[in-house]
């Protein structure tokens, strides 16, 4: 009887030790994952960026339908694109820094952030060069589809260094870019759906179902 009780206790102790080992390994795995990912992205920034894109698409539509000379329209639209990009990038940085400070995290450009930015901006830079080439050759209707396609690839790359669900936003951009490529007449509409509506929808989802649960 005593031997049986001893065996039961020994088995229980081993099970408890195994559980502790598993829990410890799980904690180490989570810590390593956090150290190699940027977790300060904010859902609010995605909403704000989407709103900027919708306003920009409205202004772009007014410019396109204006009676200005064609070369002047192209120049104004390109300048507006650069301003929009800088405004959106600054917005993401501002809200990311604010979220990091609120969560007690250190916001700095470490090796992980540098890798993330490189993998995000590389497809964007290539896409920008392609779009400038299309505009130079007069294929204006194709620029929005290539913007969506390369931006979708950039988001999928980004998902390896931050929240993995951002890749689904990238897939949406790719789908819209392909449809836009086949329906050039509605290019501005698809651009607004991709950079505007989808960003707002993702930002609301991210803020309500991810950020709020982690607070």
pLDDT digits (tens, 9 = 90+) for 139-179: 888 999 999 999 999 999 999 999 999 999 999 999 999 99
pLDDT by residue (tens digit) across 72-111? 888 898 899 999 999 999 999 999 888 888 877 767 778 8
**Residue 42 contacts by C-beta under 8 Å, 6 or more apart in sequence?**
92, 95, 96, 98, 99, 207, 211
pLDDT above 50 (res 186): yes
């Amino acid at each position: 009887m005593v031997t049986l009780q001893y065996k039961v206790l020994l088995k229980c102790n081993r099970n408890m030790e195994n559980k502790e080992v598993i829990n410890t390994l799980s904690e180490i795995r989570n810590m390593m994952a956090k150290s190699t990912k940027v977790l300060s992205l904010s859902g609010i920034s995605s909403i704000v960026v989407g709103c900027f894109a919708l306003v920009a698409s409205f202004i772009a539509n007014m410019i396109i339908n204006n009676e200005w000379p064609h070369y002047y329209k192209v120049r104004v639209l390109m300048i507006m694109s650069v301003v929009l990009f800088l405004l959106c990038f600054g917005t993401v940085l501002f809200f990311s820094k604010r979220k990091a400070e609120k969560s007690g995290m250190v916001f700095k450009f470490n090796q992980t952030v540098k890798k993330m930015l490189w993998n995000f901006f590389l497809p964007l830079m290539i896409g920008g060069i392609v779009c400038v080439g299309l505009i130079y050759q007069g294929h204006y209707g194709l620029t929005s589809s290539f913007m969506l396609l390369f931006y979708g690839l950039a988001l999928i790359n980004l998902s390896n260094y931050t929240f993995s669900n951002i890749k689904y936003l990238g897939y949406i951009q790719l789908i819209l870019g392909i449809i836009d490529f086949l329906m050039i007449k509605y290019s501005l509409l698809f651009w607004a759906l991709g950079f505007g509506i989808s960003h707002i929808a993702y930002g609301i989802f991210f803020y309500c179902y991810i950020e709020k649960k982690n607070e």
